[in-house]
Structure 1
Amino acid sequence: MKTPSPALACRLEAARSVVRDAARMAMAMRPQPGGPQGELKAAQDWLTETDGAVEAFIAGRMKALFPDDGFEGEEGGVTRTGSLRWVVDPIDGTSNYARGRSRWCVSLGLLEGDEPMAGVIEAPALQEVYTSLRGYGAFLNGKPIQASRVAEPSRAMIEMGWSGRVPKPVFMEKIDAIMELGAMPRSGGCGALALADVASGRLDGYIEIVINLWDVAGALPLLAEAGARVSPFLRDGGLTGGAVIMAANPHIAQTLSDAVRIPLE
C-alpha cells in the first residue's frame, strides 16, 4: 500500500488537531437555543463573535506550524500566499449556530495551486469528524466512506442551499427540476456538511448556485476520494469568488446534471 508524502501526512494530522481545538472553542461559545445571536452581514447571512475568534485561532496556529503556507479565511480574506494554501470556514452554517442548533461545522481545506489536497470538517455538536487526503481515502470518524449507489431519482434525496444572492426564479427553477425527477428536496443550512453528506451517502446530491471557496475547500477532497462527481467549481470562478457547485453520487449525477442544467467535470 502506498503512503502519502510525509509533508502532506504531517499537514493533515496537524489540521486535524487544530480543527479539534477550534471546534471545542466554538462549542464553548455556542449560543443557547432561541432567537439568533449575532449580526447580519446580509439577508439571513449571520456573523457571530465565534466566527472571528475561531478563524483567528486557526490562522495563528497554522502560521506557527507552517509559516510558508498560504492562508485564506472567510472573515479575513487572503492573509498569506504560497503554493500550498489553507482555506478555512470558521463556522459553516452560522445561521444554525447562532440559534443554538447542531448542524454547523469548522471546515479547513488544503489546496496545492488549484488542486484540493486535504480536508478536515468537524461538526462537534454532532460528534462527527470528516477527514480526507487526496489519493488516500475519505473517512467519517475514522471509518471509510463512499458516495451512495442510488440510481433511481424517485429514491434520491437532493439538498439545495439557499442564498439571498440568487434570484428567487432561479432557485425555484432548480427546485422544480429536482421535484420533477421525483427526488426528495432538502435544505439544511450548512454547505460543507451537505457536501460531506454526499460523500458519505447520506445525500445523493447537493446544489448551490452561489457558494464560496471557504464553504467547500474542506469537502472537495472528501468528495473526490468518496467517488462523487462534482461540477467544475474551481475552474468556473470558485478560486476567486462565488460560483455554482453541484455534487452527486456517480449513479445519478448525469441525470441530475441534465435536469438542473449544471454541467459536470
Structure 2
Amino acid sequence: MREFLKNIMIEAGRVALEQKQRLGEVKVDRKSEKDLVTEADVAVEEYLVGQIKERYPDHAIVGEETGEHEGGEYRWIIDPIDGTTSFVHDQPFFSTSVAVEKDGETVLGAVNAPVLGELFMAEKGKGATLNGEAIHVSDRERLIDSVLGTGFACVRQNLEHNNLPYFAEIVTRIRGVRRYGSAAMDLSYVACGRLDGFWELNLQIYDVAAGVLIVQEAGGVVSDFAGGEEGRPFETLATNGRIHEALSRELMEVQMRPGD
C-alpha cells in the first residue's frame, strides 16, 4: 500500500503541475469571499479517488472536494491542493496531502510539493522520509531560538476566535515566523527540521492527517494547544518536542485571557 500511495502521489503532482501550466485558463470559484477552489483541486482529487477506488474498492474515502465515500476498515483522507491561494498566485508553496487510516488510526501519510520536487512520507512505526531519505525534527530547545510556522484559516473564514492574539504574543517570544499557506507543508517542515514548531486554529482533518503522522514519525509531538494527546477540535500544535511545553504554555496564557 505504501508503494501504491507513493506512485499516485507522484502522479497527482504531475496533474497539479499540468494544471498550473495553464493557470490563466483554470477556472477559479469561491467557497467563500476569501476561500478559493479551482479546477485543479477537482482534477487532482478525481484522479486520486479514481485510483484508490480501482485498487481498493472496499476502502472509504473522504476528500475535501468530493466528500465522503463509504467503505470498510480503511479510510483515505485527501486534500488535493492544500494552499490553493498559493497555487492561484503562482507561488510554489502548495501540496497534495493524503493519509490512510485503519480502524481510525493513521497508518500512512504523504505530502507532495510538486513545484519543489519534495515528497514527504511516513508509515506508522517506520519513520518519516523526504524523497526516500530519513528525516528528523530539530534539536532546538528554547523558544527564543526557534522559527515557527502558522496560518490564518480562521481569519479567512471571519471567525471571531482567531489566531491574531496568539500571533501577536508568540512572535515576540521566538526568532521568527514563516507563513507558507499550506498546513500540510508546515507540518512536513517541522518533521524535517526546517521549522521547530507550528500552530494553527480551525484546520480540518484533510489539512493535517498526513502531516501529523509525518511529524510524529520524525520524532515530533502533536497535540491541541493545552498539550492534550487527543487534541481538541480545530487546534493544532506540532513541535520538535523540546519546545512543546513552553509553546503550549504561551498559547494557553493567551487563551485564558478575558475576551480571547
- Structures share a fold, TM > 0.5? yes
The equivalences for 1:174-185 within 5 A come to 174-185=166-177
Q: 1:50 to 1:77 in 2, by over 3 A?
A: same
Aligned match of 1:44: 34
CA distance in 2, matches of 1:251, 1:237: 21
1:204 to 185, 196, 206: 196
The offset of 1:184, in angstroms, is 1.1
Aligned match of 1:74: 64
Contact kept in structure 2, 1:32 and 1:100, CA below 8 Å: no
Aligned match of 2:250: 259
Superposed CA deviations along residues 198-257 of structure 1, whole A, max 9, x for unmatched, are: 11110011111100011112212111111111115994465xxxx111101111111001
1:21 to 11, 26, 34: 11
Aligned match of 2:165: 173
Identity %: 29
2:144 aligned with 1:162: no
The equivalences for 1:86-235 within 5 A come to 86-163=76-153, 164-165=156-157, 167=159, 170-232=162-224, 235=230
Contact kept in structure 2, 1:31 and 1:97, CA below 8 Å: no
Q: 1:18 to 1:182 in 2, by over 3 A?
A: closer
CA distance in 1, matches of 2:99, 2:178: 25
Partner of 1:182: helix, strand, or coil?
Answer: coil
The offset of 1:143, in angstroms, is 0.8
Superposed CA deviations along residues 92-116 of structure 1, whole A, max 9, x for unmatched, are: 1110011111111111100123311
Contact kept in structure 1, 2:187 and 2:215, CA below 8 Å: yes
- Gaps of at least 5 residues in structure 1 are 1-10
The offset of 1:166, in angstroms, is 5.7
Partner of 2:31: helix, strand, or coil?
Answer: strand
CA distance in 1, matches of 2:229, 2:30: 28
- Gaps of at least 5 residues in structure 2 are 254-260
Q: Give, as a single letter, the amino acid of the residue that structure 1 aligns with 2:195.
A: L
2:48 to 58, 65, 71: 58
2:240 aligned with 1:249: yes
Q: TM-score, normalised by structure 1?
A: 0.87
Q: 1:32 to 1:52 in 2, by over 3 A?
A: closer
Q: Give, as a single letter, the amino acid of the residue that structure 1 aligns with 2:172.
A: E
Moved more, 165-174 or 217-226: 165-174
Aligned length: 248
Q: 1:61 to 1:202 in 2, by over 3 A?
A: same
Partner of 2:137: helix, strand, or coil?
Answer: coil
CA distance in 2, matches of 1:109, 1:18: 12
RMSD of the TM alignment (CA)?
A: 2.2
